[in-house]
Amino acid sequence: MLLFYFHRAIIFTVKKFIRIFLQQVVPMSANIGTGELIVILIVALLIIGPDKLPKVARAVGKAVAGFKSYMNDVTEDLKDVSTEFKDVSDSLTVMQKDMQQTIKSAFEDVDGTVKSVDTDLKNVGADVGKSVNKAIKEPVKSLGKSSENESAAPRDEDSARESPDEQDGEAESAGVSEETTVQAQ
């Protein structure tokens, strides 16, 4: 008879443990099969004993429920952080594109300015080259005229070297021509 009551107590305890376990633990871990669950219950019954098995089942259920709650909280926090990270990442991407566009336009402006200055310098260089060529040609022409003047100048110097008697003769002939001009009037 004692064995009968002991057997009934064990069956009652196992049923209660299974009910609690199925309510709280099994929904969390759907990977546990029926055969594995029976093995776990038999091992728990042998190790813990029929008297403490319901208390242990409740404690395990509460621990698993707490772990599940903690994991849900962590998952929500990670989702929030990932959303914030994505927002920051998107804003950084937009800022990066804006900076690249700004730098690109600045380089294009500088490139345009450099090309403009290069063109202006080439034009100025061509103008200076023309002016230099013109300035070089003018002295050459004036040198040609100067050489004619210089060839005439020595004649004047030669006449200055003439004797004073020859100069008087020239002056007398000049005076005669002046007298004839005055008389003709």
More confident residue, 78 or 6: 78
Q: Give me the pLDDT at residue 7, please.
A: 66
Number of domains in the chain: 1
- Tell me the average pLDDT across 162-177: 49
Which tokens in the block code for residue 176?
A: 């005669």
> Cα dihedral angle (29, 31, 32, 33), rounded to 10 degrees?
140
Is 124 inside any structural domain? no
Is 180 inside any structural domain? no
Is 50 inside any structural domain? yes
Is 68 inside any structural domain? yes
Is 53 inside any structural domain? yes
Is 107 inside any structural domain? no
Among 58-72, 93-107, 130-144, 145-159, the range scoring the smallest mean pLDDT is 145-159
In sequence order, what are the residues at sequence separation of 6 or more whose Cβ sits closer than 8 angstroms to the Cβ of residue 54?
A: 13, 16, 17, 20
- Reported as a single tens digit per residue, the pLDDT across 70-93 is 888 888 888 888 888 888 889 889
Is 113 inside any structural domain? no
Among 34-38, 100-104, 137-141, 161-165, the range scoring the smallest mean pLDDT is 161-165
Is residue 153 predicted with pLDDT exceeding 70? no
Q: How confident is the model at residue 174 (pLDDT cuts 50, 70, 90)?
A: very low
Is 44 inside any structural domain? yes
